[in-house]
Amino acid sequence: MKTVKIMMLMLSTIILGACTAETQIIPQKVNLSQLQHNWKLTHVDNIQLATVIKSTLKIEADNKTSGNLSCNSFFGEAKFVDNQLRIEKMANTRKMCDELKNSVEMDVSEVLSNWANVMIDNETLIVSNKKHSLTYQLADSLN
């Protein structure tokens, strides 16, 4: 019986140690040229968007940026420093949107118009701040 208790104590120590061990993720350096594509928003805060949402992001070689927030178009200039992106001088049209599209528009606008962290993996771009995470796919890969 004593052996069983010792084994359980050792096992729980190992499990707790594994839970508290920190794994360090080293972010990969992103280059501006990796962002210079046409992107389609697929998820906000890891929730897949309804097919009626047609939000896009286009970053051109001269850093000109344009796209669709959800029902309104926008344009501006991409600034990119240390894996952080911001669309400066961002302007957009002012059409009335339904509640769902308006919610997406507000989240996208808030993330893109302020400094946000950028991660890129293959054909996926993630732009996030403390409030929201936007997941984009290369538009060409969504035929």
Q: pTM value?
A: 0.78
Q: What is the tens place of the pLDDT at every residue in 90-100?
A: 999 999 999 99
Position 25 pLDDT exceeds 70: no
Interval 44-64: pLDDT, tens:
999 999 888 999 999 999 999
What's the pLDDT at 122? 83
Residues 68-104: tens digit of each pLDDT: 999 999 999 999 999 999 999 999 999 999 999 999 9
Is the Cβ–Cβ distance between 57 and 64 less than 8 Å?
no
Architecture (CATH level 2) of domain 32-142: Beta Barrel (2.40)
Cα–Cα separations (whole angstroms), residue 70 to 17, 18, 57, 80, 97: 46, 43, 11, 23, 8
CB-based contacts of 86, cutoff 8 Å, min separation 6: 78, 79, 112, 113, 114, 115, 116
pLDDT of residue 11: 47
* Contact yes or no for 41/55 (Cβ under 8 A): yes
Provide the residue ranges of all domains of the chain, joining segments of one domain with +. Answer: 32-142
Nearest in space to 139 (alpha carbons), one of 43, 31, 39: 39
